[in-house]
Structure formats: structure tokens, C-alpha cells
Amino acid sequence: MHPNIGCIILKNVKLSNKKYVLRGNKKKKENIILRLLVWQVDNLNKSLAKSKLLEMSELMENRFRLLWVNLISGISKGIGIGIGVTIITAVLIIILQKIVSLNIPVIGEFVADIVDIVQKR
């Protein structure tokens, strides 16, 4: 709740599923209700700014920009996936080569065959 309002209770005003009962003169009541509404609108504005709804609607209106942004993001994702798979595969091959060098009877032969197949391609 807004710090300036404190624990004042409003009469027949429902905000955020809470009922408030208002005590005091009419001008004070209107001032408090106005503060509550300003606070609620401010919170709504902050939520909309966080969700970037305006930027998304502007992007959806300009089809060429939307296509360009999606193209660049797709290329970036593709390059990232390619580099990531290459690094992971290289690390796995190094680990498998270390396992082969341990000369474990059954596993060593199986891993050696896999390493040979990968290195030939």
C-alpha cells in the first residue's frame, strides 16, 4: 500500500480485492481516493513498462523490421548452436580418448570404435 495512506480504511471502495471503510470529512475522503487511484495507475504503468507492451506493438506494426529482427535472431541462434555442439563434441571425444587409454576390456574397445568412426568423418 502507498506509504502516505497508512492504514486508512475507505468506505465502499474496492481496490485489489480489498474492502475499505472511509472515515473523516468529504474532502479528505476524495483526497485519499485520488491518492489510491494515482498509486494504482502508477503501478499499472510500471507493469506495462516492464512487459514492454508498447515496443511489441510497434514491432508488430512494422513487418519489415519484425522480419529483420527475427532473421538476425535466427542466424545468431544457429551460429550459437553450431559452436556449442562443436565444443561439446570435442570435449566428449577427449573424454572418450582418455577412457580408451585406460585399457578397460569391453568399454575400451567399444569407445575406440566410436572414436575411430568420429575421427574418420
DSSP string, 28-94: HHHHHHHHHHHHHHHHHHHHHHHHTHHHHHHHHH-HHHHHHHHHHHHHHHHHHHHHHHHHHHHHHHH
> What pLDDT does residue 33 have?
83
> What pLDDT does residue 35 have?
86
Task: End-to-end CA distance of the chain: give it in Å, rounded.
Answer: 66
Between 77 and 38, name the one with better pLDDT. 77
| DSSP assigned state of 19 | E
> What pLDDT does residue 81 have?
97
The residue type of 22 is: L
pLDDT tens string 66-104: 899 999 999 999 999 999 999 999 998 888 788 777 777
Relative orientation angle of helices 63-101 and 105-120, to the nearest 10 degrees: 140
The residue type of 1 is: M
Whether the per-residue pLDDT at 111 is higher than 60: the answer is yes
Q: Which residue's C-alpha cell is 502507498? A: 2
Between 11 and 49, name the one with better pLDDT. 49
> What pLDDT does residue 72 have?
96
What value does the mean pLDDT of the chain take? 78
Is-contact 63 56, C-beta < 8 A? no
Window from 18-32, 45-59, 78-92 with minimum mean pLDDT? 18-32
